[in-house]
Structure 1
Amino acid sequence: MHASLLLVSALAASVWAAPTFPKITPEINTPDNIRSISDYFNLLASKVQESRGLSLPPLCDLSHLSLPSEASALPKPAEGSTLKHIAIGRGTQNYTCDATTPSAAPKAVGAVATLFNASCIAATSPDLANALGRAALHFDLAQSEASRRLTPSNLAVSGVHFFADATTAFFNLDVSTSWKLGEIPCGKNASVAAPANAPLGLNGEKAVPWLKLNAKVGATGGLQEVYRVETVGGSAPATCAGMPASFQVQYATQ
């Protein structure tokens, strides 16, 4: 039996479905944010036009996909692994600060994210998947969670991500009533800085690093590895000066 590989990122169950009208966050007025949204909708329009010429629906085949070239510094997937799922993660990176040492760097205390099934859109149009991940950061997260669809697309919820303890990132892909992919508690195997041109966050934050995570005891569904790539925003400020005791920074990722 081949081992399975879970690649968690930023991506559509219904390929090129009509987008949901999104709520826009107040930070949307910065030029970079407007560019991300414009790029997504312009690319979506061109893909819809192209799809009209297809004689058959596109296939959700992940076998031809590989990690982005910028992830070459991360360890390769285990021999014989099979790519099982791609998702857009949309949530927050969480931090704490000690008010008595404002010059100290904030301490990372995990993350929380809702995962949206992007396997089909990544299989048929990786560039559109990437554009959607960048755009999705700038729309209202509560709207996506309430509708169980990633605004501004039609991607359905496929899982949730949180930290079970300080060193265990947990991905639950059994939350959907349509399919059960398993659960995977995992720890960090390797990290590499996001590319210099990675999209910034809502308030100009740098993108959090790209990661490879390996499964810990308790993984189900044959899940063995997770890659976090194509990150958008999520980094904390350099110091705790002026920051509260705990705070969150919104981010997106594949």
Structure 2
Amino acid sequence: MYASTLLVSLLGASTVIAAPTWPTFNWDAAKPDGLETVSEYFNMLASKVELGKSMAEAPVCDLSKAQMAAAPTPLAAPSAGLVLKHVAIGRGTQNYTCDATNATAVPVAVGAVATLFNASCVAATYPDLLGMLPKLALQFNLTEQEDARMGPTNLIISGKHYFTNTTTPFFNLDTTQYQIGEAGCSKDSQTNAPDDAPKGQQGEKAVAWLRLKTHTGSTGNLQEVYRIQTAGGSPPATCQGQPAAFEVQYSAQYWFWEGNSQS
């Protein structure tokens, strides 16, 4: 009983209590498996709720039990001594610029903007559900009114992700509910997403998985950040038909690791 209550509070169908227009499924997305993804999510959720009814107590939200997925060519493991502090689902856009006068030019990445949703307890207790969340999030429109809730889940916002310049990703994980820390980062390494990674709303490939190192002055003892289990976000191969600036919808898991304070 307790386990099913936890599941519903974390991942329950918000459409039961929300207005029918929120969250809004993206019917225009060129993703034939969109409805199947949503159906698979709710079927998995329902099966876990049913199983939870027979459990005497809810699973413990113990982040030490959470395990990051590995890419076909794995990223390096977190540095020795670091411990997992937070797991979030990021939902937003990867941003690009183009030389509109040159159809063969390659789009240039200039950053990203995303809302981060707290998925720490999901990572610790229901890793299979966690694996579905980036793909699920991409099925729903992202607007100023809707970014307070990630699709049909009840995950709570734990922060924002943006770039302070074209090369510096920044994570603000200090909110009224959570004080996890803030960190500017630099890319340490990257690896291609798996070939079967979820594509974007218009069929875009999944962006690379990343390992980031935080900058001096970061707070909350944040040391390393991993972007994994990406969905969508990649630009077209060339600038043909593209405006001078454009966005590509994406979602991903972000894993935040802490250790000794930076000096």
Task: Report if TM-score (shorter chain) is over 0.5.
Answer: yes
The question of whether the paired residues in 1 share the 8 Å contact of 2:203 and 2:232 is answered with yes
CA–CA distance in structure 2, aligned partners of residues 71 and 180 of structure 1: 34
Name the structure, 1 or 2, with higher relative contact order (CA <8 Å, separation 6+). Answer: 1
3-state SS, counterpart of residue 113 of structure 1: strand
Give the AA of the match of 2:165: D
Shift of the alpha carbon at 1:37?
1.5
CA–CA distance in structure 1, aligned partners of residues 156 and 190 of structure 2: 28
2:14 to 20, 27, 40: 20
Structure 1 partner of 2:146: 144
The question of whether the paired residues in 1 share the 8 Å contact of 2:30 and 2:201 is answered with no
CA deviation map 1:117-169 (0-9, x unaligned): 00011111011111122111111222432xx2322100000000000112210
Residue correspondence of structure 1 range 187-202 to structure 2 within 5 A: 187-202=186-201
Residue correspondence of structure 1 range 1-254 to structure 2 within 5 A: 15-17=7-9, 18-21=12-15, 22-28=23-29, 30-70=31-71, 73-142=74-143, 143-145=145-147, 148-175=148-175, 177-254=176-253
Shift of the alpha carbon at 1:103?
0.4
CA–CA distance in structure 2, aligned partners of residues 98 and 140 of structure 1: 28
Structure 2 partner of 1:6: none
CA deviation map 1:23-59 (0-9, x unaligned): 1112357322222222111111111111111111221
3-state SS, counterpart of residue 173 of structure 1: strand
Shift of the alpha carbon at 1:74?
1.0
The question of whether the paired residues in 1 share the 8 Å contact of 2:7 and 2:49 is answered with no
3-state SS, counterpart of residue 103 of structure 2: coil
The question of whether the paired residues in 2 share the 8 Å contact of 1:86 and 1:118 is answered with yes
Note closer, same or farther for the CA distance 1:174–1:71 as it changes in structure 2 (3 Å cut): farther
CA–CA distance in structure 2, aligned partners of residues 216 and 135 of structure 1: 32
Shift of the alpha carbon at 1:75?
1.5
Give the AA of the match of 1:163: F
The question of whether the paired residues in 2 share the 8 Å contact of 1:189 and 1:214 is answered with yes
What TM-score do you get using the length of structure 2 for normalisation? 0.87
3-state SS, counterpart of residue 42 of structure 1: helix
The question of whether the paired residues in 2 share the 8 Å contact of 1:202 and 1:250 is answered with yes
Structure 1 partner of 2:260: none
Q: What number of residue pairs does the alignment pair up?
A: 238
CA–CA distance in structure 2, aligned partners of residues 123 and 77 of structure 1: 17
What TM-score do you get using the length of structure 1 for normalisation? 0.90
CA–CA distance in structure 2, aligned partners of residues 182 and 109 of structure 1: 24
The question of whether the paired residues in 2 share the 8 Å contact of 1:233 and 1:252 is answered with yes
CA–CA distance in structure 1, aligned partners of residues 146 and 228 of structure 2: 21
3-state SS, counterpart of residue 95 of structure 1: strand
The question of whether the paired residues in 2 share the 8 Å contact of 1:172 and 1:183 is answered with yes
Q: Provide the identity percentage.
A: 51
